[in-house]
Amino acid sequence: MVKKKGPAVRIRKKNAEETRKKLVGMGLMDKMRFPMQRGEHVYLPVVGGEEAEEKLSGSGLEIVRVELEAREIRKNFRQKLIELLGEEHAKGVLSSYDIVGDIVIVDIPRELEGKKTEIGEILLESEARAKVVLQKAGGREGEFRITKLAHLAGEKRTETTYSENGVRMNLDVGKVYFSPRLSHERKRLCELVKDGEKVLVPFAGVGPFALEIGKFSPCAHVVGIELNPDAVRYFEGNIRLNKLKNVEAILGDARAVVKERFVGWADRIAMPLPKDAHEFLDVAFLAAKPGCIVHFYSFVDVENGFTQARGFVEEAARKAGRKIEFVFAREVRPYSASKMQVVIDFKID
């Protein structure tokens, strides 16, 4: 791990996120070093120079000089990959890997199969957090949406601890679905939930949506339903790990569990089952109280995708005999040349 000394704002943990946003807004965050937490304090790297010092001096923030982990590592990684694969191929690999805790998961294009061991070693050497490198050995499969993975480099394990939006989660990437790519959506939902809300997450996985909402809104009651027993085991452990009293994990099929316990219960429903999620929209209508907001995630065509997704919702509303109002929509992420993932927020009367 390469460290670099420089100025940083020292701030109490509870004020760190707000201060980070403020510093980003002022253009003062140093993007070449990582923030660090020590005990009750967080060190936020800021840029040096006269202008920055002047802006910071009137801010009332405590400025210290500390060594923080440098981001330059990524640059070395890029260079090493370019040396090994050439510019074009390197670009493809760079855009196709995720880091979950200390595990790197990389999708290696077929034409680079012969170089996979070297790619694995480069990832291990260059990604500061990496202790394990795994290769995707197929698409997401079955109802549990699990990706087959093969070992490429580092320690031989698939279990890790991942932190996101102030929540720690243990999970096994070989036994459950997990994607760090929805972290900004989870943050968005956290900020929308109001005190006292009853929130239902019918496809909860190891609990990222449910846990983060529960942590962010201690006065909300959050229930996650999940079909994969391994995912529920981690979900329950993660509730204990984060000491959350307002989050409940239920093992079972979302449709059956809602019919049994949650008809007309929810003020808010997050439906993070993008594949075939529209087939479960009837479950959302069943669980919704009047005024309930649903966050519906769906994979749709790049062309006309929003109309397609709204069409699913309108059709389900018609079948349920309920009125709806669309309140928000956006592209969550591109998926392929012809598909994207979108979220549609709508209110059920």
Q: Which is nearer to ligand SAM, 62 or 143 (CB)?
A: 143
Binding string, residues 130-159; x marks residues near ligand SAM by CB under 6 A: -------------xxx--------------
Q: Which is nearer to ligand SAM, 123 or 249 (CB)?
A: 249
Shortest distance (Å) from residue 292 CB to ligand SAM? 18
324 binds ligand SAM (CB under 6 A): no
Report the 10 Å Cβ neighbour count for 117: 11
214 binds ligand SAM (CB under 6 A): no
Q: What is the DSSP string of 72-134?
A: THHHHHHHHHHHHH-HHHHHHHHTTEEEETTEEEE---GGGGGGHHHHHHHHHHHSTT-SEEE
Specify whether the backbone of 121 is left (phi greater than 0), alpha (psi in -120 to 50) or beta.
alpha
Shortest distance (Å) from residue 12 CB to ligand SAM? 30
Task: Return the ∠ at Cα 270 (arms to 98 and 268), rounded to 5°.
Answer: 150
CA pair distance 97, 161, nearest whole angstrom: 17
235 binds ligand SAM (CB under 6 A): no
Q: What is the DSSP string of 215-249?
A: HH-TTSEEEEEES-HHHHHHHHHHHHHTT-SSEEE
Q: Which is nearer to ligand SAM, 152 or 332 (CB)?
A: 332
Specify whether the backbone of 37 is left (phi greater than 0), alpha (psi in -120 to 50) or beta.
beta
Out of 43, 97, 162, 178, the only residue in the binding site for ligand SAM (CB under 6 A) is: 178
Shortest distance (Å) from residue 281 CB to ligand SAM? 13
**Six-digit token pair at 227?**
């079909």
**Six-digit token pair at 190?**
């956290």
208 binds ligand SAM (CB under 6 A): yes
225 binds ligand SAM (CB under 6 A): yes
230 binds ligand SAM (CB under 6 A): no
In the region spanning residues 237 to 296, those forming contacts with ligand SAM, defined by CB under 6 A, are 253-254, 272-274
Report the 10 Å Cβ neighbour count for 165: 16
Out of 7, 120, 154, 205, the only residue in the binding site for ligand SAM (CB under 6 A) is: 205
Binding string, residues 30-69; x marks residues near ligand SAM by CB under 6 A: ----------------------------------------
Shortest distance (Å) from residue 318 CB to ligand SAM? 23
CA pair distance 267, 246, nearest whole angstrom: 15
203 binds ligand SAM (CB under 6 A): yes
User: Which of 70, 122, 113, 68 is CA-nearest to residue 94?
Assistant: 122
In the region spanning residues 74 to 103, those forming contacts with ligand SAM, defined by CB under 6 A, are none
227 binds ligand SAM (CB under 6 A): yes
209 binds ligand SAM (CB under 6 A): yes
User: Which of 342, 334, 298, 305 is CA-nearest to residue 95?
Assistant: 334
| Site size with ligand SAM, rule: CB under 6 A | 23
CA pair distance 78, 69, nearest whole angstrom: 18
Residues that bind ligand SAM (CB under 6 A): 143-145, 177-179, 182, 202-205, 208-209, 225-228, 231, 253-254, 272-274
